[in-house]
Amino acid sequence: MATVKIYTTPACTYCIKAKDYFKAKNIPFEEVNVAEDMVAQQEMIARTGQLSVPVIEVNGKMLDPGWNPQKFEAAYS
Amino acid sequence: MYELAIIGGGPAAVAAGVYAGRKQIKTVLITEGFGGQSLVSNDIQNWIGDLNISGIELAKKMEAHVRSQQTVDIKDFELVKTIQKINDGPPVGHFLITTEAGETFESKTVLFTTGSRRRRLGVPGEDEFDGRGVVFCSTCDAPLFRDKIVAIVGGGNAGLEAVVDSIPYASQIYLIIRGNELKGDAITQEKVKTHPKVKILFNTEITKINGEKFLTSIDLVNSQTKETSNLDVGGVFVEIGAVPNSEPVKDLVELNKGREIVVDHKTQLSSQVGLWAAGDVSDVLFKQNNISAGDAVKAILSIYDYLHRNQLTGAHQ
């Protein structure tokens, strides 16, 4: 099964939508709050080259920031 | 064939879906997602019936309400690309709706409630640094600008709220206003004006966004003195209003200069027979969740009357 990690900030609506989607589909995920974890924030910015959340990582590969169910499913399935 | 297609997922679409369900109109609701533009708001204090509610909570409640309607099919995660009128006989033909994914739907009537999207600055560098310092969701991304200097553009409520979102993180905030006064709610204005981190630049516009890997500075011009300057910033949050999402019907209905759908404000009917519009995509004067919901209800009552008057409901066929 693919592993899913999501980099979030607390008030980010699209982060909440993505997490709701994972829960609805019973997809296990790990959440990293990059408003608090500055090391993870710097790593996320360095790897994506962008200053934006949510960032979703599937099997260690980060997708472009934002929440798009079709793009996530393409990477996950 | 559906009797009604509702396009959109904001308060207008949901109110319409609930009323269509109660009128037992055979309906399809097509949307990218629920909640509308308030989805990104942390604290909505004027939705009637809730003292305060977050955008995401409101979206969930609205989605649950419309999903409870038995005659309404929901197609979510779908964006409508085009709507065509098919003139296939009396009394008024029907509509063919095509989504970005290529799915098609046919319906006797359409209620178009696609709202609006963020207006962009339209200056060099904006597209290049979108996501690399240019921000369109301050509630989402403000925490990524910790200890950075940021510029926030726009003196309405959205601009002021972006300042409030940034205060805990940014080292300094420039609020850039094209005119000579703030326009948002007085209570938020006071908070912004008095905060030591915030400096307000009136009569000022961004002319260019600069950077390398990430945004590093902006060029400014003072609209009165014509004086130009450059400001070192790590982020630019753009909160300068909205443009209506009217593209899928631009060849079907009359639009005003602002690209809003012109409607009869008694019924919400557009210039195209069989096509109604409500909410921020219409030429309604005040863009408010409660008004969008109410206008959509007017539209459904008008659509119900139209379907029966023209004997277009299942009961007549």
- Is residue B126 assigned to a domain? no
Tens-level pLDDT at each residue, chain B (317 residues):
999 999 999 999 999 999 999 999 999 999 988 999 888 777 888 899 999 998 889 999 999 999 999 999 999 988 999 999 998 766 678 999 999 989 999 999 999 999 999 899 999 999 999 999 999 988 889 999 999 999 999 999 889 999 999 999 999 999 999 999 999 889 899 999 999 999 999 999 999 999 999 999 999 999 999 999 999 999 999 999 889 999 999 999 999 999 999 999 999 999 999 999 999 999 999 889 999 999 999 999 999 999 998 888 765 55
Domain span at B201: 134-238
B123 located within any domain: no
Scan residues 8-37 of A and list those with Cβ closer than 8 Å to B. 9-17, 34-35
Count of structural domains, chain B = 2
Q: Are residues B164 and B112 in the same domain?
A: no
CB contact under 8 A, A70 and B132: no
Out of B40, B141, B165, the one facing A51 most closely (by C-beta) is B141
Which of A9, A16, A70 is the closest to B143 by Cβ?
Answer: A9
Query: What are the backbone angles phi and psi of residue B195, rounded to the nearest 5°?
Result: -80, 130
CATH number of the domain encompassing residue B218 = 3.50.50.60
How high is the ipTM of this complex? 0.89
Give the N- to C-terminal CA distance of chain B in Å, as an integer.
12
Q: Which residues of B make CB contacts under 8 Å with A?
A: 33, 35, 39-40, 42, 55-56, 77, 131-133, 135, 137, 139-146, 165, 213-214, 235
Residue to mutate among A52, A63, A67, with most B CBs inside 10 A, is A52
Q: Which residues of B touch A17 (CB under 8 A)?
A: 33, 56
- The candidate with the shortest Cα–Cα distance to B151, out of B128, B170, B131, B132, is B170
B262 Cα distance to chain centroid: 17
Helices (H) and strands (E) in chain A, counts: 3, 4
8 A C-beta contact, residue B113 and residue B278: yes
Walk me through the domains of chain A, giving residue ranges and CATH numbers: 4-76 (3.40.30.10)
Mutate to test the interface with A, among B43, B141, B166, B237 (most CBs of A within 10 A): B141
B128 lies in a domain? no
pLDDT tens, position by position, B49-95: 999 998 889 999 999 999 999 999 999 988 999 999 998 766 678 99
Does residue B85 share a domain with residue B234?
no
Q: Are residues B229 and B295 in the same domain?
A: no
Query: pTM (2 decimals)?
Result: 0.78
Which of the listed residues B190, B219, B238 is the one where a domain comes to its end? B238
